[in-house]
Amino acid sequence: MNVKIRTEKLTVRFGNNEALKGVDLDVCKNSITGFMGPAGSGKSTLISLINRMIDFEDGVRIEGGLSIDGEDILGTSVDVVGLRRRVGTVFAVPLPLPRSIFENIAYGPRLKGINKKSDLDDIVEESLKKAVLWSEVCDRLHVSALKLSGGQQQRLCLARTLALRPEIILLDEPCSGLDPISTAKIEEALNELKKDYTIILVSNNTKQIARACDFAAFFYMGTLVEFDQTEKIFTNPRVKQTEDYIQGKFG
């Protein structure tokens, strides 16, 4: 098994509140790993550690280790900006920048210093195709991104993340506000993308995890309750709590 992200006894506290309690987890390269669990279970906190967006929160204390390709990413000397270019994030609500579709996608590459029109054209086209959005917007790339529908906006955000050419893609409940058709399109895109990327998909929707993920992790109250191949988790969970959650008895 080819480990991309590894956590070791990872504990996070917000004040007196423990958001993560000693989590040990290995995320495999070129796979989709699903994080599930009820609200407040710590899955989103883990995501915000991997892209270091947790830096924007106050009063956080972190113990334990978190590494990508064996390199620690929690230290103060870590190049956070560089890290965020390696780890792309798609948020729960579609958040297009108030610019054109083209400029939204070119935003990341431009920051990296890519300014040549032809290079940007290529990146934009490639990213939109991978996010299964190209055919819908190819004739109006310079229209404001805010004019797109919710589902289109979310795929635009995925394309924008892909344009960074990251190694890891984090999706934090990306389909929570979307209709089934848009959700299916996102899942379709993810299935293609796992060949080249390591993907983590956070979702409240256990069915989506079952459909889309190779591995699944169940979190509850900050603890990693169970982590295994999706098939095993959904057919033969080791822990009673996991089974109850999957069957919709709580959460």
Residue type, 210: A
We find the least distance from the C-beta atom of residue 245 to other proteins, in angstroms, to be: 29
We find the least distance from the C-beta atom of residue 66 to other proteins, in angstroms, to be: 17
Q: Tell me if 75 contacts other proteins by CB under 8 A.
A: no
Q: In which residue are the tokens 């990213």 written?
A: 127
- DSSP string over 4-39: EEEEEEEEEEETTEEEEEEEEEEEETTSEEEEE-ST
Give the total of residues touching other proteins (CB under 8 A).
Answer: 25
Q: Tell me if 194 contacts other proteins by CB under 8 A.
A: no
We find the least distance from the C-beta atom of residue 95 to other proteins, in angstroms, to be: 5
Using an 8 Å Cβ cutoff, are 111 and 81 in contact? no
Question: Would you call 76 helix, strand, or coil by DSSP?
Answer: coil
**Tokens of residue 239, six digits:** 């822990």
Q: Tell me if 95 contacts other proteins by CB under 8 A.
A: yes
Q: Tell me if 150 contacts other proteins by CB under 8 A.
A: no
Percentage helix, strand, coil for the chain under 3-state DSSP, each rounded to 5: 40, 25, 35
Between 157 and 193, CB nearer to other proteins: 157
Pairing of strands 87-90, 168-172: parallel
Q: In which residue are the tokens 């579609």 written?
A: 94
Q: Tell me if 147 contacts other proteins by CB under 8 A.
A: no
Between 108 and 174, CB nearer to other proteins: 108
Between 81 and 181, CB nearer to other proteins: 81
Binding site for other proteins (CB under 8 A): 51, 53, 56, 58, 79, 81-82, 84-85, 88-89, 91, 93, 95, 97-98, 107-108, 111-113, 157, 160-161, 164
